Structure 1
Amino acid sequence: MKVLGIYNLKSSIVCIATDNASVNLQMASEMQNQLPGFCADQQAIGCMAHTIHLAAQDGLKTLGETPEELATPNVNDSHGLMSLTNIINDPDGLHLNYSSIVSRRSKLATYLKQSPQRCEKFITTIHLLYDDLRPTKAVTLLSHVSTYEMLNCTWTLKDAYHHFCSTLNLQNYQLSAIE
């Protein structure tokens, strides 16, 4: 509010958007209290990427509870178990817990981000196992990407994850053979 006052912009706010729903609501409420004419209900918008991500997280929680009569996807397609079809449907009745996979991948990303040396070791592992992989794939795990992209990256780099977690004895982040 102080910066808006310094630049004489308090009456120029058209709308606000933040990347976090709780921050957005708090900011909108504060602005409504301090700015004449600002209506939080009409001038505060949520971040669409964040909203979609939250919806995807809720969707993942319900996977595995789909009706048995849904078509069984082919797990041998180009993306294997991480294909969109296999995320939506239970491949061959495996009842994979995608929420658990995402949770472990998120925790591994946090673990890697806490140390540049760990991150470098993981990227080195990727380069040792995948000659033709572009660096962007290696960094996908470490960035805030969609849940689908995280699962797709996990499938693509599954050998690197397994090798890295096994070498450093990181059972909490390890995927099972079926995952």
Structure 2
Amino acid sequence: MTDLDHITRFQRSRKSGDLLPLYQRYAELIYGWCLGYLGTAERAEDAGAEIFTVLLAKLAKHEVANFRSWLQTLVRNHCLMQLRREKRDPLRQSREPLMQSEELMHLPEEAEATPDTRPLHHCLKQLGEEQRTCIRLFYLQEGHSYQSIADQLNLSVGRVRSHLQNGRRNLKICLERRQTE
């Protein structure tokens, strides 16, 4: 059966068993693409398995003329979204300058935190209001994209990117300065 035959059969029945032969045909290729984006075999295997679920949802809604090309785009987008989610997850950034120790991972809510015990909190307070707000929304609160921050603060997306870049740089400088004190 051709790719299009499998797709047509699946779109009519909506049964995962009808899509499985097509997925198996491309499984090694999917793994290779995921490995290229994600870098490790374990992450590529996990992403490849997730792709089957994504295929079940997407193929039910889309007309696909060139399956291989469409699949490659789907895999690329899935992997890039995973990398973006990981980049935002502070717990996965343990090697990043902003998260140097367990102590720095949890910011206190109260304003009376002492600068000596909460260096990140102290350095965040040194930032300008827009930089601090952008850093908090993007890195410390879940689910905020450049666009959602821009909408919330009535800024352009470029301005949000600039605040994040400058805020990260200023935090790094402040944290390095505090370590040498």
Q: Could you state the TM-score of these two structures normalised by the residue count of structure 2? A: 0.28
Indicate the structure with greater helix content: 2
Question: Taking CA–CA contacts closer than 8 Å with sequence separation of 6 or more, which of the two structures ends up with the larger relative contact order?
Answer: 1
